[in-house]
Amino acid sequence: MTSGSALESQTNLKSSIQDSNKITNHNDPVIQAKDLKKVYLVGKQPVFALNGVSFEIERGEFCAIVGTSGSGKSTLLNLLAGLEPPSKGNIIINQKSIIGLSENKLVNFRRDHVGFIFQSFNLIPNMSAWENVALPLIFRGTPVAERKKIAIKMLDQLGLKTHIYHKPNELSGGQQQRVGIARALVVNPAIVFADEPTGNLDSVTSSEIMLLMQQISKDNNQTLIMVTHDDYLAQYADRIFRISDGKIIGIEKGSQNEQ
């Protein structure tokens, strides 16, 4: 290589590092919630599900939203995922507001950036583990052979390589949820939302799933937002947001997290 082309490639490298820093700047919040309010009308009676919620979440953070039943946790998650609009306030994801986007744009936003993990696993009963995991890839137009390869790799990472052909009813609760997690992660989303992901699991399995989620968000630099009523499980998160009557009443660090 001549010194001229070495210099040129060095310059290219430098500018590509600068570009990638622009994209993955750790100080840029991936999610900003600004004074979010959500009012439901039940008959003529207003119900204030969220009453002025503001926070910022950084890329790669694992955050738990903790509160009792009815405190507004699921409402907050639905708003952040663009599933429901707020009554007031703004939600900025990757420096762009998602408020006022058309339904089409919101569908694309969720398909390209968001993964969901559900309390009830939401697996398709007559599909095998790998077929369930591969489902989101169909919407991306990935060919079947490649879908299968990616799904099996994902299941392998979650310790389920020997169970790829099992149907959901042939798996334990913890295994089903690992399939659910694999399906949420298969498109490598920047943000993963989990609403009471261990609500149907025993305490030992729940802790295992928490450790897995902790590891995944670190390994892939994915932002993980988990809603739970369980204070113990919340301790696995980097940060815990306490919510009560639709307001954040405290933010603290998780104690089951070495950082």
Q: Which residues bind Mg ion (CB under 5 A)?
A: 74
- Among residues 74 and 176, whose Cβ is nearest to Mg ion? 74
Q: Note whether 72 binds ligand ADP by CB under 6 A.
A: yes
**Beta carbons of 233 and 206 less than 8 angstroms apart:** yes
Nearest distance from C-beta of residue 50 to ligand ADP, angstroms: 8
Q: Note whether 42 binds ligand ADP by CB under 6 A.
A: yes
Helices within the chain (DSSP H only): 3-24, 73-80, 103-113, 129-138, 144-157, 173-185, 203-220, 231-234
**Beta carbons of 46 and 39 less than 8 angstroms apart:** yes
- Among residues 73 and 113, whose Cβ is nearest to ligand ADP? 73
Q: Note whether 52 binds ligand ADP by CB under 6 A.
A: no
**Residues 109-168 interacting with ligand ADP (rule: CB under 6 A):** none
Nearest distance from C-beta of residue 49 to ligand ADP, angstroms: 3
- Among residues 173 and 199, whose Cβ is nearest to Mg ion? 199
Phi, psi dihedrals of residue 144, rounded to the nearest 5°:
-60, -40
Task: Count Cα neighbours of 8 within 13 Å in the Cβ-side half-sphere.
Answer: 5
Q: Note whether 67 binds ligand ADP by CB under 6 A.
A: yes
Q: Note whether 70 binds ligand ADP by CB under 6 A.
A: yes
* Burial class of residue 1 in the structure, from the number of CB atoms within 10 Å of its CB (0-12 exposed, 13-18 middle, 19+ buried): exposed
* Site residues for ligand ADP per CB under 6 A: 40, 42, 47, 49, 67, 69-75
